[in-house]
């Protein structure tokens, strides 16, 4: 019996030890797989950069380990990595050209695509080649491919070219069925972020602004394609009306959208020819992950001068709570702390604030605005607008020294709103009753009970006054920052969203261009010649995210994102009512070109 127990315990112990070894070995392998290599990429002679247009293009490359672990394989590419890689490819003599591999799965905003497009145009000035191939082109990937010297597609491929549309989903009827009424308080005829909760269709004002936005963006796209492909805009619109994706691929060739049809197996031989290497030699393709680690061979700056590029991307949070598991965003307290450090750093001669935000908390926006005001007193602050710098995103931008935006950036949306749900009918359906006692008339104004009954006229008056005061402060900040009268700001405000192109005409933006233009202006304003470019804040490693954050929330977030896509962000907004600020400055939609 003793021997039996001894051998049994030994066996169990051995199994536990083996499982522990396997578990920790698995973790080591996982961390190794998820952690990007920082070793320098060795560039072979006659190499070609491969720009694989697949997945979602984000402002900065990010890593979500829980999405990877949960099997969410949707890839993301950092716009910053793409732009840096194209610049390196232009400067490196061993890289002979760029190979654009288009797909039908690319998801990116018009502004990001426009910035990449302009970087590719700049690359061509080096005299190097750009070749593009796709099994199927989406409109976004074709827009970038149109820059190429040779645009190729599979003979059985599909070219999407049908124009653009913007759509909004409305939830009022759903809310009515579940017994929830959204009580809305806003300033701004065009402030349409509240419309999905109170209407079943677009208002005339919202339809007006969306029509202008989509036409402006499409006009920019067709202008660029027209110049690259030597086709008139009229011809491009004619082809869009035909919906090329349903026609044989040969029609895209005969109409000048494509140069040739070719099978993917033959593309490599064509690239070898363009790169000037023998057909039996190896073709060295460098993807973005390799290009990131290519040394630029730029002499190290010894001046000590720093131009700081600070990325403020995502929705603006006005609380001290980091809502782990939600989409990445701008935590106002962290931004304020970071900007104070940049202000106090004597080596930092100027700051480029890269804003890519549809807005968020009014309170958080005001706090960041004040931090930028203090920073500007010490050194130049230049804003570079990305995909969006609207509502709260414009609020934090307007106090800078100068604003640079892409023609297709969505900005403005100078307006404010508050939403208070009334779930009285839902409460009655479930047979729940809430009662309270109070000392003063409005003692329950932030209670749970208030959310389960209609607001009184007195309460509505207080809330609307609060919203009006917020709008007045917003227009004051814009008027002071942009040297406009408050009357004029109100005229072009009212919650209306503008493209960067129109915003420049209205005086809300100073220059059109990308982040490189903003950096060059910052250098000029700083009055320096030599400098080192540093980016902030530092990215969090995958290992750090795994160790420091709540895995339950990350797993929930990853699962919901993978199942609900864009609807996840609407869910998150409603789900976070309890921690969101009462006043919100945000856009009602995000714009992608697929």
How do residues 125-154 score in pLDDT, each as one tens digit? 999 999 999 999 999 999 999 999 999 999
What's the rounded mean pLDDT across residues 14-40? 55
Alpha-carbon distance of 395 to 575, in angstroms, equals 25
Alpha-carbon distance of 123 to 49, in angstroms, equals 12
| Same domain? 254 vs 398 | no
| Same domain? 273 vs 373 | no
pLDDT digits (tens, 9 = 90+) for 315-367: 998 765 444 334 468 999 999 999 999 999 999 999 999 999 999 999 999 99
Count of structural domains, the chain: 2
| Same domain? 523 vs 459 | yes
Answer whether residue 258 is part of any domain: yes
Q: At what angle do helices 204-229 and 233-242 cross, to 10 degrees?
A: 110
**Residue that is last in its domain, among 291, 318, 347:** 291
| Same domain? 93 vs 131 | yes
Range of the domain at 322: 306-586
| Same domain? 480 vs 518 | yes
| Same domain? 415 vs 330 | yes
| Same domain? 528 vs 560 | yes
What's the rounded mean pLDDT across residues 300-327? 76
At 523, which CATH number?
3.90.226.10
Answer whether residue 271 is part of any domain: yes
| Same domain? 478 vs 570 | yes
- DSSP E strand stretches across 391-431: 402-405, 410-412, 416-422
pLDDT digits (tens, 9 = 90+) for 527-568: 999 999 999 998 655 555 555 555 555 555 555 555 555 555
Answer whether residue 339 is part of any domain: yes
545: nearest Cα among 176, 82, 62:
62
Q: How many CB atoms lie within 10 A of CB 320?
A: 9
Answer whether residue 403 is part of any domain: yes
| Same domain? 267 vs 344 | no
* Residue for token pair 């800078």: 400
359: nearest Cα among 320, 415, 311:
415
| Same domain? 326 vs 283 | no
**Residue that is last in its domain, among 291, 322, 353:** 291
| Same domain? 494 vs 377 | yes
Answer whether residue 299 is part of any domain: no
Q: What phi and psi, each to the nearest 5 degrees, are found at residue 274?
A: -65, -35
Answer whether residue 298 is part of any domain: no
Answer whether residue 349 is part of any domain: yes
pLDDT digits (tens, 9 = 90+) for 481-500: 999 999 999 999 999 999 99
Answer whether residue 41 is part of any domain: no
| Same domain? 259 vs 378 | no
Contact in structure between 169 and 566 (CB atoms under 8 Å): no
């Amino acid at each position: 019996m003793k021997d039996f127990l001894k051998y049994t315990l030994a066996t169990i112990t051995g199994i536990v030890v083996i499982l522990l070894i396997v578990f920790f070995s698995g973790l080591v392998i996982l961390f190794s797989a998820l952690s990007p290599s920082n070793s320098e990429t060795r560039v072979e002679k006659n190499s070609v950069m491969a720009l694989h247009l697949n997945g979602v293009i984000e402002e900065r490359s990010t890593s979500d380990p829980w999405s990877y672990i949960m099997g969410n394989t949707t890839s993301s590419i950092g716009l910053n990595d793409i732009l840096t890689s194209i610049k390196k490819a232009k400067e490196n003599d061993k890289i002979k050209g760029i190979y654009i591999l288009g797909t039908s799965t690319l998801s990116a905003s018009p502004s990001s695509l426009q910035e990449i497009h302009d970087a590719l145009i700049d690359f061509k000035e080096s005299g190097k080649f750009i070749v593009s191939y796709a099994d199927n082109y989406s409109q976004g990937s074709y827009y970038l491919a149109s820059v190429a010297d040779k645009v190729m597609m599979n003979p059985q491929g599909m070219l999407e070219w049908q124009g653009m549309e913007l759509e909004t989903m409305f939830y009022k009827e759903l809310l009515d069925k579940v017994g929830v009424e959204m009580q809305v308080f806003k300033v701004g005829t065009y402030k349409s972020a509240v419309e999905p909760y109170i209407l079943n269709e677009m208002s005339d004002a919202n339809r007006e602004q969306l029509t202008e936005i989509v036409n402006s963006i499409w006009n920019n796209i067709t202008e660029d394609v027209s110049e690259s492909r030597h086709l008139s805009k009229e011809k491009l619109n004619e082809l869009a009306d035909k919906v090329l994706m349903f026609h044989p691929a040969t029609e895209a060739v005969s109409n000048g959208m494509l140069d040739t049809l070719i099978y993917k197996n033959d593309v490599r031989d064509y690239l070898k020819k363009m790169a000037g290497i023998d057909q039996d030699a190896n073709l060295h393709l460098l993807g973005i992950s390799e290009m990131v680690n290519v040394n630029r061979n730029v002499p190290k700056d010894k001046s000590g001068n720093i131009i700081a590029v600070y990325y403020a991307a995502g929705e603006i949070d006005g609380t001290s709570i980091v809502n782990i598991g939600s989409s990445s965003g701008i935590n106002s307290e962290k931004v304020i702390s970071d900007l104070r450090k940049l202000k106090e750093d004597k080596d930092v001669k100027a700051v480029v604030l890269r804003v890519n935000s549809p807005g968020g908390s009014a309170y958080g926006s005001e706090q960041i605005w004040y931090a930028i005001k203090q920073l500007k007193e010490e050194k130049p602050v230049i804003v570079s607008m990305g995909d969006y710098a609207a509502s709260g995103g414009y609020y934090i931008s307007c106090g800078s020294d100068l604003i640079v935006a892409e023609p297709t950036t969505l900005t403005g949306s100078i307006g404010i709103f508050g939403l208070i749900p009334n779930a009285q009918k839902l409460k009655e359906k479930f047979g729940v009753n809430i009662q309270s006692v109070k000392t003063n008339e409005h003692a329950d104004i932030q209670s749970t009970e208030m959310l389960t009954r209609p607001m009184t006229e007195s309460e509505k008056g207080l809330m609307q006054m609060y919203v009006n005061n917020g709008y007045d402060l917003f227009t004051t900040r814009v008027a002071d920052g942009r040297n406009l009268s408050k009357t004029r700001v109100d005229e072009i405000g009212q919650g209306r969203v503008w493209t960067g192109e129109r915003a420049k005409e209205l005086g809300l933006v100073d220059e059109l261009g990308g982040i490189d233009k903003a950096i060059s202006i910052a250098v000029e304003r700083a009055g320096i010649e030599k400098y080192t470019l540093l980016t902030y804040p530092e990215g969090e490693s995958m290992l750090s995210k795994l160790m420091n954050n709540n895995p339950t929330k990350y797993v929930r977030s990853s699962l919901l994102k993978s199942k609900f896509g864009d609807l996840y962000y609407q869910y998150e907004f409603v789900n976070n009512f309890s921690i969101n600020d009462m006043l919100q400055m945000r856009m009602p939609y995000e714009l992608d070109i697929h």
